[in-house]
Amino acid sequence: MRLPEPPAPQQKKTSQLAGVVIFHFSSLLIFTTWAFGGQAPWARQVIAGWGSLGVLLFIIAGATQARSPQDRYLGISPLWPLWLYDLLVIVSCLNPGFKEITSGGEILLVLADPITWLPSAARPLLAAQELWRFNVIVLSCFNLWLVLQSRRLLRFVLLILVTNAVALAVFGTFQKLVQAKGLWFDLVTTPNPKFFSTFIYHNHWGAFTVLNTAACLALFFHFLRRSKQRDLWHSPVTLTALAALLLAAAVPLSASRSCTVLLVVLLGGALVHLLRRVMQQRRANHESATAPVLGLILAAALAVTAISYLGADVIAQRMQQTAEQLMHIEQSNTLNTRLTLYRDTWHMAAERPWFGWGLESYAHVFRIFNTQRAGEAWIWITFYAEAHNDWLQSLAEVGFVGTTLLGLLLALPLWRVRWREVQSLVPRYLLAGNIIILIYAWLEFPFANPAVVLTFFAIFYTALRYAQQETLYLAASSQ
């Protein structure tokens, strides 16, 4: 009997490195999501510290995965917009736009005299800290693209993402049903009454759930494609469908109206896609599609009914609030307030269009441009820590140059994939989730939450690697 040949040293090293990368990403994901979505100050410090291992793994992967310097360059070339973005922020940290003075025992910020043609930062220390956190998150997710060489491992990462999200959804649902007034069943006082699960802000939970629902749908259609009709109920198809329903129920229960609409669009599109798929298969087999189509529609209706019943009180409250806001929109001036915020943020961006005021500068600099005042001219109506529009805030903080580099960080890798050759629905559903959140960022600030950022980039790079591995597999099969 001939024994199997031992794996090559390079393959063994790659397998070990893949295991370490998955462990590091999973631990970073679980900690970030359960530690208030990463928004507590101490949680951000842990993310920066533990996430630094991702930078080390990135360096090791870049050195060991390539057989030549040229291969090493090609492996990390999608990140050159990130390196230029880092350079922009580093230069801005060396060119402070504000200086601190002490007046009456309080530290105040006053305009400094920076070099006008160079990027500058209002708060260099805050900018440097945020830059490091952003890099460790991106590189920890990029390692999934750089190291994982099989679609099976990529699906395993998606299973980790979805399982963690479902656990958070169940935790948040029970927390909501017992009417807890604080996080972790009242163990932690929340600064925002609109919280859900471990997330301080319900719209951040909504964005997080939309991304994970897209991952769940990607796995659902993959398993559906692989399963046989008679084994459907004994395959992961049923589990992924139930997981999608649990995630879907958690969004309206969290009282996030905007993300509920986004989730309806995502799940509605998936249902239409599933119905079309069933009809095509039945017609190809010369069978009637009436029974399965009606069954799917009935199942969807029952799911909507169950979700509506579970979150009836929350949905009724939010609908009443929405109706009141629409009736009194002119009196409360809610719409004008948001539009004024966007206008003032645009004026802030237009003041320094090229490089902006510096990363993490919005909360400090926007006070100069805020026109929403009451009574005396020096009294502010509201303090805005975020612009409620990530795109506009990016323009205000890092200018058109920095925002373009962030856009290229996403666009260039997409351009390199031969999408016409990709048959799998996995990367398409994953990227659909990314696109929805990018659109949502025009109305809210999902990227202010580290858990959302981590999930976004993990799904993005997993989709890219999955698509590339599929094209390689198809090319090898055709030979």
Please give the pLDDT value at position 98: 85
Please give the pLDDT value at position 325: 47
Q: Which of 141, 183, 70 is nearest to 453 (CA)?
A: 141
Beta bridge partner(s), residue 107: 102
Instruction: Identify the helix (H) or strand (E) that includes residue 98.
Output: strand 98-103
Please give the pLDDT value at position 231: 63
Q: Are 3 and 133 in contact (CB under 8 A)?
A: no
Please give the pLDDT value at position 115: 87
**Burial (Cβ within 10 Å: 0-12, 13-18, ≥19) of residue 479:** exposed
User: In angstroms, rounded to a whole number, what is the distance separating the alpha carbons of residues 432 and 296?
Assistant: 22
Cβ contacts of residue 327 below 8 Å, gap of 6+?
Answer: none
- The region that residue 286 occupies, defined by phi over 0 for left and psi between -120 and 50 for alpha, beta otherwise, is left
The two three-digit tokens of residue 27, written as one number: 């631990």
3-state DSSP call for residue 386?
coil
User: In angstroms, rounded to a whole number, what is the distance separating the alpha carbons of residues 366 and 349?
Assistant: 10
Check: pTM over 0.75? Answer yes or no: yes
Tell me the backbone φ, ψ of residue 2, rounded to 5 degrees: -90, 125
What is the mean pLDDT, run by run of 10 residues, along the chain of 479 residues? Answer: 44 79 97 95 95 94 66 68 96 89 69 86 94 97 93 96 96 90 88 89 95 96 77 77 91 89 94 89 80 83 74 54 49 68 95 94 90 58 84 97 97 89 92 97 95 98 93 69
Please give the pLDDT value at position 315: 54
Q: Which of 41, 27, 168, 84 is nearest to 458 (CA)?
A: 27
Angle at 95 between CA 92 and CA 98, to 5 degrees: 105
